[in-house]
Structure 1
Amino acid sequence: MKSLLLAYILLLLSSSFSKGQTPTIITSDIDNFWDAYDRLHNAKSKEDSIRIIEVLYLGRASEGFKKLIKSRDLTAEKYVNTISYYPEYWKSVRNNTLSIKNYEAAIADQMLLFDQSLKNFKTPKICFAIGVLSTGGTVKNNWLLIGTEMVASDSTTVRTGMNDWLRTVLPNEPHILAFTAHETIHTQQRKGPGLVWGYFNHRVLTLVINEGAADFVADKVTGTSINSKLYTYGYTHEKEIWDEFRKEMYKKDYSKWLYNGANSKDRPADLGYFIGYRICEAFYNQSEDKEKALQIILKTNNYRSFLRKSGYAERFENTQTSSD
């Protein structure tokens, strides 16, 4: 009897300690990058530079970084080119990327907050690596893969020679916690038949709600956002954005709404995040059971039904243009 009681106490202690444990956070790839970067000064040719990145950085990739390499098709040549395009940026962002280790306790607290707020939360593994200024973050299974060179910039980083999208999307203060929050939500979302059906039948709506849900839940639980600049524009132009979006939301081409940083000229890129957020917010606000609503937003796989239940479209019904 005593042995059973002791085992029970140990189980309780183990459970309580595990909730407060620091999640797996890999930062070694950042150190490897700067080691390879420093060796580039002795390179005698572009081919030599490519070999240095290939061997000393990509060749030493951690488990998480290997996933980022594959998902974003990262090559040594892309690194050499990007470094040569924006030499002052890399110099100015270096110390910020190396400071990621200082965020580990805050990230652990963030994961604990998610665990307390979301049912059946599974703590992801996190890899901070250096990319080629193409992504702030993505997920692969239960991994958060963070492009540290993009999320760690601040007002002192030099943006000379960059296009408008990079100038806009690079934060003026480090967005480390905002990105870990957003990408963490993606690891918790349901990857069921509904997502597949939505992707092939109404891709725009599906992806927009998926991204908007990550923004909304992250914001609701942690108070952080990766898209604060974007939302400033969105609130000012919401009706015209919706009028345009509703005509395209059941189509497959999402290039005007998501991941379009290089092609959006007259307005901010990625406005689908804003519309998705507002749909999720509308659903949440009209729900009596807020805890349940948060879970539905997180796990929804029926995107047409979710939009209808949110009531978001109805708020514009009386103001639609006569040309419709």
Structure 2
Amino acid sequence: MFSPKIILALILLPFINYTNASEIILKDAQNFAELFKKQSHLTPHLLQTQYLDIGSKGIEIFTPRRIKSAENMLSMINHNKHVYNQALDICLPQIESLKSEALQTLNETQKVLSQTQSASVYIVFGANNSGGTASVNGLVLGLEVLCSLAQSKEEFKDVFMNFIAHEITHVYQNRAYVTHKNKPEPTLLFVSLHEGIADFVSGLVLNNISNAEILRHTYGLKHEKQLWKRFKSQMNGIKLGDWFYQTDTTNQPNDMGYWIGKRIAKAYYERAENKKEALITLINLKDANAIYRASKYNP
């Protein structure tokens, strides 16, 4: 049974006017920079009225599960001021010089995935808990987190481009899910493919393994058989366990579910005769088990 939000999305789908032009929108980040630099003592009221209330669609997307509230964001700022200062002093100015290349990455991902409409990229400051997210309306990048993942300008460029390619893929996935007759069941396999496909597409577009992936990629190649045996026994359940966002006594890197999903997506793509159709099938992700079976992934 569809939720009210899904029903509304299906009703409104023919009338949604997605943008045909790529944009990198810095207004939110600039608003935060102006507020942060001129106020020696930030308050929840100042954050709310001079940042969140005047925010773009990106702030609207980023607030519910990430920023949460002005009080929560201020607490994170007060405990991590060096993180925000680094992003403001080093990474925000660098984005201006990367805009042209970022637009090229957006357009190339759109082309690779046979999509006719693009989406806006909103650069924001959040509560130091998320590098990015996506909705049907666009992708939002949390600059303080992205900047903390890099030790140099070259590393930040790598992180920035890979997050753009990854999150724009999620935009196209989310748009595809809206058109499905059945809401996808969030099994471990589905979530792993949802994230792994985005990592796979990012690697396909940029021809690299991002810095954010290196640890789990190295560990995954070394322990692939053991990881797959454990994952396979759990993949049709809805518990994400230690595969996402946390680790347990296995001592494996965080988010190994991304890597397993990427390996299945890669195997599916490489076996497909029609690569263009294969990518469309991966983006639609109508049947996670069918994609797994067709991939013949079995290390």
Q: Give the TM-score range, shorter chain.
A: 0.7 to 0.9
Output the CA distance in 2 between the equivalents of 1:71 and 1:275. Answer: 25
Partner of 1:321: none
Does residue 303 of the first structure (1) align with residue 288 of the second (2)? yes
Does residue 281 of the first structure (1) align with residue 266 of the second (2)? yes
Whether the aligned pair in 1 keeps the contact of 2:22 and 2:120 (CA below 8 Å) is: yes
Output the CA distance in 2 between the equivalents of 1:306 and 1:38. Answer: 50
User: Secondary structure, in 3 states, of the residue corresponding to 1:207?
Assistant: helix
User: Secondary structure, in 3 states, of the residue corresponding to 1:155?
Assistant: coil
1:49-75, CA deviations, whole angstroms, 9 ceiling, x for partnerless residues?
Answer: 222212221122112222211342521
Task: Compare relative contact order (CA 8 Å, sep 6+) and give the higher one, 1 or 2.
Answer: 2
How many residues get paired?
272
Whether the aligned pair in 1 keeps the contact of 2:67 and 2:126 (CA below 8 Å) is: no
Match runs of 1:1-324 below 5 Å:
23-41=22-40, 43=41, 49-95=43-89, 96-153=91-148, 154-155=150-151, 173-174=156-157, 175-189=159-173, 190-191=176-177, 192-193=179-180, 196-199=183-186, 203-224=187-208, 225=210, 226-260=212-246, 266-313=251-298, 315=299
Whether the aligned pair in 1 keeps the contact of 2:66 and 2:127 (CA below 8 Å) is: no
The letter of the residue matching 2:66 is R
1:108-158, CA deviations, whole angstroms, 9 ceiling, x for partnerless residues?
Answer: 21122224322234211110001111111111113101111111232269x
Partner of 2:4: none
Deviation (angstroms), 1:250: 0.8
Partner of 1:3: none
Output the CA distance in 2 between the equivalents of 1:294 and 1:67. Answer: 26
Deviation (angstroms), 1:309: 0.8
Which moved further from structure 2: 228-237 or 267-276? 228-237
Whether the aligned pair in 1 keeps the contact of 2:134 and 2:140 (CA below 8 Å) is: yes
The letter of the residue matching 2:25 is I
Based on CA coordinates, which of the two structures has the bigger radius of gyration?
Answer: 1
Output the CA distance in 2 between the equivalents of 1:187 and 1:264. Answer: 34
Output the CA distance in 2 between the equivalents of 1:292 and 1:180. Answer: 23
TM-score by length of 2: 0.83
Deviation (angstroms), 1:264: 8.1
User: Secondary structure, in 3 states, of the residue corresponding to 1:145?
Assistant: strand
1:213-262, CA deviations, whole angstroms, 9 ceiling, x for partnerless residues?
Answer: 1111121122253423321211111111111111110111114212337x
Output the CA distance in 2 between the equivalents of 1:220 and 1:156. Answer: 24
Unaligned runs of 5+ residues in structure 2 are 1-19
TM-score by length of 1: 0.77
Deviation (angstroms), 1:180: 0.5
Q: Compute the RMSD of aligned alpha carbons.
A: 2.4
Whether the aligned pair in 2 keeps the contact of 1:205 and 1:303 (CA below 8 Å) is: yes
Output the CA distance in 1 between the equivalents of 2:31 and 2:122. Answer: 13
The letter of the residue matching 1:91 is N
The letter of the residue matching 2:204 is K
Unaligned runs of 5+ residues in structure 1 are 1-20, 158-170, 316-324
Quote the sequence identity (%): 25
Deviation (angstroms), 1:102: 2.0
Whether the aligned pair in 1 keeps the contact of 2:135 and 2:170 (CA below 8 Å) is: no
User: Secondary structure, in 3 states, of the residue corresponding to 1:25?
Assistant: strand
Output the CA distance in 1 between the equivalents of 2:200 and 2:253. Answer: 19
Task: Label 1:120 to 1:273 Cα distance change in 2 as closer, same or farther (>3 A).
Answer: same
Output the CA distance in 2 between the equivalents of 1:172 and 1:229. Answer: 15
Whether the aligned pair in 1 keeps the contact of 2:58 and 2:122 (CA below 8 Å) is: yes
User: Secondary structure, in 3 states, of the residue corresponding to 2:134?
Assistant: strand
1:161-212, CA deviations, whole angstroms, 9 ceiling, x for partnerless residues?
Answer: xxxxxxxxxx95341111010001111122054772422xxx1111111111
